[in-house]
Structure 1
Amino acid sequence: MSTVLDLKGVEVCYGRVEALRGLDLTVGEREIVALLGNNGAGKSTTVSTISGVVRSRAGSITAFGDDITSATPWSIVERGILHVPEGRRIFSRLTVHENLQLGGYTVRDNAVIDKRINEVYELFPRMAERRGQQGGTLSGGEQQMLAIGRAMVAGPRLIMLDEPSMGLAPLVVAQVMEAIVAINQAGASVLLIEQNARAALKVAHRGYVLDSGRVTVTGPADELRADPQVVEAYLGA
């Protein structure tokens, strides 16, 4: 399995606060990798650094064989690396369909955009039902589906989802996780940032546990589900 994302020794500071401390992380082709940890562990900083929104002070980030450590956020998107941020951040006054169309702003072929939007509607039938509705009027789960769908229209080779289950009912969480598996099976690699370790490890192939900006545990998802340290901290008895 080839590597699509490789972080080596990445360090990030906010003033004097060390958010990431020599982080090493890889994502393989067509792989779902879960990044777990409590609030403040460095999960969101990790994905924001990969996206080019936050700059590292040390280390390197390679994606699809290219060094993107200093790349601009828009050039990273053009490489097929999409970030679905925590909190969804959809355009609340635009319709569902308009939000999806904006997801294709780097795509020059309108026919491709239309095809991908139809694929989103197939994956999330609720979005098709709400296509003319303003994004701000959707439920939390529907907004999360829209945020994921918007990223899909860009044609991601690697999609990074930051806390997609946050604030959602268990049934909706299950639907979102099923969609993540479908996206992965369609060919995209996935970096899944989650506090809901139980849900994440059900769909992931491998996982990393972050604590205070460092990787403390890593391994296949089934091994993490059985690891006493992970069970005690994140999964319960």
Structure 2
Amino acid sequence: MAMLEFTDVDVHYGQVQALRGISLSVEEGEIVALLGNNGAGKSTTLSAASGLAHPSAGTITFNGKDISQGKPWDIVADGLVHVPEGRRIFSTLSVLENLQIGGFLVKDKTLINKRMKRVFELLPLLEQRKSQQGGTLSGGEQQMLAIGRALIAGPKMLMLDEPSMGLAPLIVTAVMEVIREVNEQGTTVLLVEQNARAALKVTHRGYVLENGVTTVTGTAAELINDPRIVEAYLGA
């Protein structure tokens, strides 16, 4: 059984259909990429899984539970955590306060402290900057903070929307390495990314979305060597 599964999912925003019968799955332990141009439906796919948008048809299951019409906070409590595009940190709060907000559903303070220690081991820069205001961090540091905040919630699966957006190439490499480490420590990852080359270096499999439809799927190696993908997303 897949950890996350979409079966024939449609999503509408008013009269506009954003997803058209999408079916995809993510197995436990994988990093799966969703690739595609702007407007392809990638962010809508994550929003549908996290309860921010509800399907008009089809089903979404997480660990066998139907979450198609679920509330976002219940889905987070189930272990499916979404890091949205644009990072969305609280700029006037300190790094530490931003991280603590990630644990708003966790009642056990000992557990929060344990996860905080893990985040600081994975992202030591956040510990160095913990009393600094979030808004004073660089773009790459804010992305690390957004990932760290999500990890405090204790995700079984982490969904990341465009984590490399607006970042310099060296910082993109660092962010992707953090994603790989998070996965190696036991968290499944669904990654939405326009930087296909960076994404396919760390992912196991991928799906390509076009106009709300999945058009190509395969392992990272298959996608890297697919002439259609090379031409459309990787350059010659």
User: Could you state the TM-score of these two structures normalised by the residue count of structure 1?
Assistant: 0.98
The structural deviation recorded for 1:3 is 1.3
Matched, 1:190 2:178: no
Tell me the amino acid that sits aligned with residue 21 of structure 1: R
The structural deviation recorded for 1:130 is 0.5
CA distance in 1, matches of 2:114, 2:212: 40
Question: Aligned with 1:177: secondary structure?
Answer: helix
Matched, 1:33 2:40: no
CA distance in 1, matches of 2:75, 2:116: 21
Query: CA-to-partner distance for each residue in 1:130-170, whole Å, 9 max, x for gaps?
Result: 10000011100000000000000111001000000000011
The structural deviation recorded for 1:18 is 1.3
- Corresponding residue for 1:229? 228
CA distance in 2, matches of 1:12, 1:5: 17
- Corresponding residue for 1:131? 130
- Corresponding residue for 1:220? 219
The structural deviation recorded for 1:16 is 2.0
CA distance in 2, matches of 1:146, 1:230: 31
Matched, 1:44 2:43: yes
Tell me the amino acid that sits aligned with residue 154 of structure 1: A
Query: CA-to-partner distance for each residue in 1:70-123, whole Å, 9 max, x for gaps?
Result: 111110000000000000000111100011011011111111111111111111
- Corresponding residue for 1:151? 150
* Aligned residue runs from structure 1 range 105-116, under 5 A: 105-116=104-115
User: Could you state the TM-score of these two structures normalised by the residue count of structure 2?
Assistant: 0.99
* Aligned residue runs from structure 1 range 1-237, under 5 A: 2-237=1-236
Tell me the amino acid that sits aligned with residue 113 of structure 1: I
Question: Aligned with 2:106: secondary structure?
Answer: coil
Unpaired runs of 5+ residues, structure 2, are none
CA distance in 2, matches of 1:65, 1:13: 24
Query: CA-to-partner distance for each residue in 1:47-66, whole Å, 9 max, x for gaps?
Result: 00100001110000000010
Query: CA-to-partner distance for each residue in 1:154-194, whole Å, 9 max, x for gaps?
Result: 11001000000000011111111011111111111100000
Tell me the amino acid that sits aligned with residue 164 of structure 1: P
Tell me the amino acid that sits aligned with residue 120 of structure 2: Y
The structural deviation recorded for 1:125 is 1.4
CA distance in 2, matches of 1:176, 1:112: 25
CA distance in 1, matches of 2:182, 2:57: 32
Tell me the amino acid that sits aligned with residue 27 of structure 1: V
CA distance in 1, matches of 2:13, 2:130: 40
Question: Aligned with 1:6: secondary structure?
Answer: strand
CA distance in 2, matches of 1:171, 1:70: 39
Unpaired runs of 5+ residues, structure 1, are none
Tell me the amino acid that sits aligned with residue 42 of structure 2: K
The structural deviation recorded for 1:15 is 2.1
CA distance in 2, matches of 1:6, 1:49: 11
Decide which moves more: 74-83 or 103-112. Answer: 103-112
CA distance in 2, matches of 1:68, 1:17: 22
Tell me the amino acid that sits aligned with residue 138 of structure 2: S
Question: Aligned with 1:3: secondary structure?
Answer: coil
Q: What is the number of equivalent residue pairs in this alignment?
A: 236
Tell me the amino acid that sits aligned with residue 195 of structure 2: N
CA distance in 2, matches of 1:65, 1:144: 31
Question: Aligned with 2:3: secondary structure?
Answer: strand
In angstroms, what is the RMSD of aligned CA positions?
A: 0.7
